[in-house]
Structures are given as structure tokens and as C-alpha cells.
Chains A and B, each alone.
Chain A
């Protein structure tokens, strides 16, 4: 069951925070083809007092809508390749089930480190023309 939202003390301010986080995440999503979770998760923790797992869960929920909006807009530019999307997306659905289950019982720091190392390698590959 979803946890009840915290009481909206200063509801307008809270909504403004969500709007700022959303705008940043949306721009990231559209510009880079990502979900925006790297923006959302830390800011939910720092600005709105979310627990880490709650922030990651809520981020995934928001990403559904953000990626949908960005994907439909890219679709209008004719840039979306369905077959290629299936090739990475289908195994990823299996992966996310494993990842969320794993997150409940494992210190994620070592995964963060491995992930960071992988990204450095890929970034260098992309930078070399």
C-alpha cells in the first residue's frame, strides 16, 4: 500500500518545490533521454524530507509520466525506434524487478561504485569520436 503523503504544512511551498524538481527533471529527460531520476531522488531527500527508498520509489512513479511526455514529443520528431526500444526495454523490465527487490536488503554502495566506474568508461567511449 502507498504510504500516506506527509501533511501539507505550507502546501503551496511544497507544490513549488515539486514544480521546481519537476521542471529540472523534465528538462534533463528531454535533453538526455533519461528519466530524470538523478535530479528527483536527491532533491526529494534534501528538500522534502523523503527517506531514500521512498524517494527512489516515488521517482519511478514520476518518471512514468515524464518519459511518456518526452517520448511522445520525440515521436512527433520521428526519432523513436520501436524495435531497438524493445531490445533494451524488455530485458530491463526483468532487471528492474531484480533491482527493486535487491534494494530492500542490500547496501547499495558497492553497486553505486561499480555503476560509477561503468559510466566513466562509457563516457570516454562517447567522447572519442
Chain B
């Protein structure tokens, strides 16, 4: 057990609920830094953790009237080939490349979020 993993896990859930994401952008570094998983193993394990989080989050948003169920299912099903392709790619390329790409993704998302948070016209946007 790792207290760091538990705390960052909880934070990932809060972020997932607030922003409508899976929380993987925090799960992956938590699994790497606190539980010493290699990058690709951390990504794979992050996907496992995301499933119950997204399920509970979607059910809760459904209660608030914020889930368009039919289009959510359609979107999810249409994403399956891309998801399988992405996993095949990440298992074929060097692990260090994946680490660097993931870090760049984090910086990009951080930049986007900070920008939207700081522009008044985007007050409604959580991202």
C-alpha cells in the first residue's frame, strides 16, 4: 500500500468528476512514481482504474441530467478501433518515447486548462 497512490487516486477521481475525464492523466504518474510500474504497465493499469470511475461518474451525471446516453454509447463504440490501435502502437514503440510523449501531453493539457481558466469568456468551461 502506498499513501501517495491513495491520495493521488482520490484526486484523480475528483478531477475526473469535475472535468469529465477518466483521471488517467493522474493515475499514470501515480502508478509510475508511487507503485514503481513501468510506463506502459502504468498506462494499462490506469485504464482498469478508469472504468469504475467513469461508470460511477456517468451514473451521477445522469442523475443531474447531464448524460446523453445514446450518443455516449455511440461515441464509445466508435472509439473502439482507435483504442485498440493505440494500444498496439504503444506496445511497439520504445518505452522512453512513450514517457516523453505522455509528459508532453500533460504539459499541453495543463496549458489548455490554464488558458481557459484565465480567459473570462470561458468561465463555463471546466477544461
Contact = CB atoms under 8 A, between A and B. Distances in A.
A97 B83 CA distance: 26
Given A24-B82, A67-B50, 5 more contacts: A2-B67, A61-B75, A67-B24, A70-B84, A115-B15
Contacts of B21: 34-35, 37-38, 41, 59, 63
Bin chain A's interface residue count.
Answer: 35 or more
12 contacts: A26-B82, A29-B82, A58-B68, A62-B75, A64-B54, A71-B50, A94-B13, A97-B60, A112-B113, A112-B126, A117-B114, A123-B104
Contact of B54 (A1, A53, A67, A88): A67
A64 to B, nearest CB: 5
Contacts of B82: 22-27, 29-30
B53 A89 contact: yes
Interface string A41-52: 110010010111
B105 A32 contact: yes
Contact of A85 (B13, B17, B45, B54): B45
A60 B58 contact: yes
Interface string B39-70: 01111111111111111111011101111111
Secondary structure call for the A interface: helix
Nearest to A67: B50
Nearest to A42: B127
B6 A96 contact: no
Contacts of B101: 31-32
Contacts of B13: 91-99
B61 A56 contact: yes
Contacts of B50: 34-35, 63, 67, 71, 89
A98 to B, nearest CB: 6
Given A30-B89, A34-B21, A64-B51, A92 B16 contact: yes
Nearest to B80: A69
Contacts of B11: 95, 118
Contacts of A84: 5, 31, 35, 37, 45
A65 B28 contact: no
A104 B64 contact: yes
Interface string B70-87: 111111111111111111
